[in-house]
Structure 1
Amino acid sequence: MSAFPPVPRVEGIAAPLLRDNVDTDAIIPSREIKGVGKTGLAGGLFAGWRYTAPGTRDPDPDFVLNQPRYAHAPVLLAGENFGCGSSREHAVWALHEYGVRAILAPSFAPIFRGNCIRNGIIPVVIDMAVVRAIAAADMVVVVDLLAQRIEAGESHHAFEIDEEAKAMLAEGLDGIDLTLRHHPAIAVFHAADRLARPWIYLRQEP
């Protein structure tokens, strides 16, 4: 069973949130985290910007995700250093529950990027000029993970992603799943090591 639904390809409108240094407390304020699970967080996504006052659910019409065109957009356009601040994984969980499946930005905070990969959101590192051009075009875009390409109308933009992250996202794998792919080699090692160093293994009762 996959750790999350695979995301080999994402297609949809791209919501422009062209701000630099958006930290995880802005993505999901601590007051919105009331549990340890991955669900029940979408309502608190960008709560400090999305609503008119803390603790309310009165939408601010000026915030991008409150505009009907961008509601539940699967692609988010962002600025430099997206996801900085604390390492809270709830930020990615909130984005995923809301419907975001790809984020296009010039750079990501490393821990946030890793959390995206482990939870089914493609973190695409792309030049800010491309991000701004996509935002200005205001159209449906395709993020093709397998081809490592963004399609926006007649424009195509390649992006880089390491093979391990690509496999995890395309197949819905977590770190344990990746390790289990090497089970035959692990079993061979254990068998040889048990012969070489039997004293480190618990004795199995007959």
Structure 2
Amino acid sequence: MLQIRKLNFAYGDLQVLWDVDLEVKQGEIVTVVGSNGAGKSTILKNVSRLVRPTDGSIMFEGHELSHVPSHKVVELGIVQVPEARRIFPEMTVTENLRMGSFVKATRKDRERNMERVFSLFPRLAERKSQLGGTMSGGEQQMLAIGRGLMGNPRVLLLDEPSLGLSPLLVRNIFEIIKEINRQGTTILLVEQNVFQSLRISHRAYVLETGRVVLSGTGAELLDNAHVKKAFLGM
């Protein structure tokens, strides 16, 4: 579905991505793992067209995204759940979710999608009228993912969903990501939590200082000596 070729990107004079090659097939969970500052989130920003690459190609189902504005990317079915959640703090849970179906084509499915979100996250159903800014970090992460699902994503881009969560909530979030994928949503995930993300991934890429240094199945990378030493402390 998604194919990135020779992607280069720089913030001014600072080169962040170097000839990144990556692909996501329909029905997969594909993860990009790496340390903080490796360039993982920048890949997602390029896919969402929030920034413009220095060089390279980003294709979605055979269509080049280079000149597609970000709102059109969402209309194509590429929806990003941003790092640090970025919910609307002065809106209720229900209002936040409705904002996820702002694109006209998704509005007809608004009620069905909201029921799907509440079935995945019963905690949100209990707090429909609560202001987003008064919720815990874990609940806000559930809300951010739920808001993404309201947009009928064909590819869901998840940026550091475990950031700032307790170990118990982290495991819960990753199990829900697996379930979202099982229900038919393709996922591109970037994560610092290497163990949990590789555990649920079909395939993965290791990014170091803006370069892909390893790729393979999640199981293969979990068993890789470099990954064990660099990221798992083994």
Q: Whose radius of gyration is greater, 1 or 2? A: 1
More strand by share: 2
TM-score normalised by structure 1 residue count:
0.34
TM-score normalised by structure 2 residue count:
0.31
